[in-house]
Chain A
Amino acid sequence: MKAEMALVGNPNSGKTSLFNELTGDSRSVGNWAGVTVQLEKGRFYYQDQEVELIDLPGLYSLHTPSPEQRAVGEYLEKSVPDVLINVVDSTNLERNLYLTTQLAETGLPLVVALNMEDELKKQGVRLDAGALSSLLGVPCVQISATRRTGLERLLKTALNMALHPYLGRGEQLARLYAPELRQYMEQSRAGGFRDKTGDWERRLSAERYRVIGKILPQVTQASSYGKAGGLTERLDRLLCHRLWAFPLFILAMLLMLYISFGPLGSAMMRACADFIQGLLPAAMAGWLSRAGAGPLVSGLIVDGVIRGVGAVLVFLPQLMLLFFFLALLEASGYMARAAFITDKALARLGLSGMSFIPMMLGFGCSVPAMVSCRLLENQGQRRLTMLMIPFMSCSARMPVYALIASVFFDQHKWLVISCLYLLGVLAAILTARFLGPQVLGRERSFFIMEMPPYRKPAWHAVWQSVWLRSWDFISRAGSALLIASVAVWFLSNIGSGLHLAAGPEGSVLYRLGAWIAPLFAPLGFGYWQLAVALLTGFLYKEAVVSTLSVLYSSLTAAALPELLSPAGALAFLVFVLLYTPCIATLTTVRRESGSWPLTLWMLVYQIAVAWLLSFFSYRIILMFL
């Protein structure tokens, strides 16, 4: 029998680090009956006991309505876990214990993980976990998820609780509450009392903090409790400075792009390309001919598989650099600052600084960015942000830019790429400007956000995040892109009647591409190869590159520069930047928004925007050339 454990805690409590630490690569997104939001889960074994761990969304309160609260509430109602692990930031005990008191009030089997014990020690604070356990009536274990300390003890305690839940949980704590509030809690739990004015709940909130205030001095010994580090203050004075905040922010973004796509990234890519596109196909072709493989098999493997999948895989080093910076931004606490400094600007668009975080994540991949829109509480805010995210150029589009830009604009490659990123942001802003009023209606945005102290990123956690994202990329190249490359190769080499076509003009793919291509003629790239590449790009944006490589290897005469003018190439890049998000993104939008109209509208809207902006950029560049 497996034990089901659920992690619950405040945002920034290190819940996800603990989850990653315990489950490693085994994570997946799971569905629960009756639970509308999908929750992340992972599986591992501890002392021969199979454990399923669920990462519940971070929240501050069990009772204040918010999407997280609804998700956690639903989960706790429908699928009672064997034990709840409440992850608590020890350096911010007072506020974190508020949720703990609410959890203890429910009487569910509970273990408290006092996270970040290392940082607490650095602050010179001593925390008596034993005393806290007996005051709360709930076992408390000190851990550090990033330094991997105390995890063994935590699992042992949690498993013990899961297998032998004892009665009378939370009783100790309840005794500390004022008698009339205790009575109120009992009555409201029994359903016999309605708090019409909200006055009782208000008193209860204050009472929980009063109780925590009484507990804390008994369990901590500190001279400087809760003081943020001096470095955080100094950094914030600079990074949120009236004059310097925005220039520094933009500089950081440009630096990120420059390192990823500038000399360093390019050098790494070339090294990778030399192997994948030079040595590997040659060696493979030689080996295949020695093994006596026919031209069909050899063509399929060398031109179909290696060229197609390889064309995408060569960008892995650059993507890893990009993933590294994103992970760094996430782990350091800078995301909250970015939200803070951009809130007022986003408020003018009817959004809030909180929308900034999903948009930043959109530079990695639209799918998790769409999922992170859950942190936005209003439906309109969520939908408008979702409409904007696909314009944030995701990492899968990067190989397309890199390929085309290095063919046509090698000298100014990273400048062209930076401009594309900016154009995407601009398109997102214009989207909010024009569609905002309809999507938002009368809804008003708000911004209440915790500003966590800067944390020195734990390198192995950063590495793990880079690895998980890279692995996702590699496995897609190995599965879906592989199939797409093979399919493209077949369709481009086989004509009607299933025989090898003499030239590309006889192939099935040619007819399909030639049928759509005229649509792109006004944009300067009305060629069947590019049309087909865009079609496959709807499945996976990286497929644009793999398709082009497969098609152009079988096309002997026409290389890219002969086919396309630089203006047409740029228009093509603009189109790739803006056109319909990939199918995975659309499915995620459908799932997260629960709205087909929004999903279909997004599809049509983006194609229209892409076509128009691509058309204008083509015409404008033609004027200058």
Chain B
Amino acid sequence: MSRTLDDLAYGESAVIARLAGLDGATEKRLLDLGLIIGETVTLIQRAPLGDPVWLEVKGYQLALRREVARCILVKRKETGPA
């Protein structure tokens, strides 16, 4: 039941739970760009050919390939009491 960023529907938001199976350099790069655990990400759209995917994180937008998106495990965004 581990969903990844690649499984999100258009416009769906989720929280990053874990980065798994990435090489060190790519992981570091994602961290620099703000893809850190606990961060909310939203899937905006996919490229016309299905890859890469387009995300919103920390108020800006970012595109990355599906192979990387599949290494970013997410959990449902908790909608606790306001």
Q: Give chain A's interface residues, CB within 8 Å of chain B.
A: 60-61, 63-66, 92, 94-95, 98, 198, 201-202, 205-206, 209, 225-228, 236-237, 240-243, 245-246, 336, 340-341, 343-345, 347, 353, 446-453
Contact = CB atoms under 8 A, between A and B. Distances in A.
Nearest to A202: B31
A229 B72 CA distance: 27
B48 A228 contact: no
Contacts of B37: 206
Given A226-B59, A226-B60, A340-B63, A60 B28 contact: no
A343 B52 contact: yes
A226 B58 contact: yes
Contacts of B58: 94-95, 209, 226
Contacts of A63: 28
B34 A95 contact: yes
Chain A to chain B: the 4 pairs with minimum beta-carbon distance, closest first: A226-B59, A61-B32, A344-B49, A205-B31
Interface string B46-81: 011111101010111111110010000000000000
B82 interface: no
A344 B47 contact: yes
B17 interface: no
A451 B31 contact: no
30 contacts: A60-B29, A61-B28, A61-B29, A63-B28, A64-B29, A66-B29, A94-B34, A95-B34, A98-B32, A98-B34, A201-B28, A209-B34, A209-B36, A225-B59, A226-B59, A240-B48, A243-B48, A340-B52, A341-B48, A343-B51, A343-B65, A344-B47, A344-B51, A353-B52, A447-B65, A448-B26, A448-B65, A450-B62, A451-B62, A451-B63
Given A236-B44, A446-B26, A448-B65, 17 more contacts: A60-B32, A61-B28, A61-B32, A64-B29, A94-B60, A201-B28, A205-B36, A227-B59, A242-B48, A246-B48, A343-B52, A344-B52, A347-B51, A347-B65, A447-B64, A448-B29, A448-B64
B1 interface: no
Contacts of B36: 205-206, 209
Contacts, number: 116
A206 B63 contact: no
A97 to B, nearest CB: 10
A181 B25 CA distance: 21
Contact of B48 (A95, A245, A347, A450): A245
B47 A448 contact: no
A198 B24 CA distance: 8
Nearest to A61: B32
A448 B62 contact: yes
A98 to B, nearest CB: 7
* Chain B contact patch, size range: 20 to 34
B61 to A, nearest CB: 4
Which of A65, A209, A448 has the largest count of B CB atoms less than 10 A from its CB? A448
Contacts of A240: 45, 47-48, 54
Contacts of B20: none
A10 to B, nearest CB: 10
B48 A241 contact: yes
Contacts of B33: 60, 95, 448, 450
B52 to A, nearest CB: 5
A209 B37 CA distance: 11
B8 interface: no
B54 A451 contact: yes
A449 B64 CA distance: 6
Contact of A447 (B34, B50, B60, B63): B63
Given A446-B65, A450-B61, A451-B62, A344 B50 contact: yes
Nearest to A201: B28
B28 A198 contact: yes
Contacts of A206: 31, 36-37
Nearest to B39: A209
Contacts of A227: 59
A347 B64 CA distance: 12
A228 B59 CA distance: 8
A453 B62 CA distance: 11
A341 B28 contact: no
A245 B45 CA distance: 13
Contacts of A228: 56, 61
Contacts of B50: 344
B54 A340 contact: yes
Given A343-B51, A343-B65, A353-B52, A92 B29 contact: no
B62 to A, nearest CB: 6
A450 B64 contact: no
B60 A446 contact: no
B65 to A, nearest CB: 5
Nearest to B51: A344
Interface in B8-39: 24-34, 36-37, 39
A228 B44 CA distance: 12
Nearest to A93: B59
A185 B19 CA distance: 24
B25 to A, nearest CB: 6
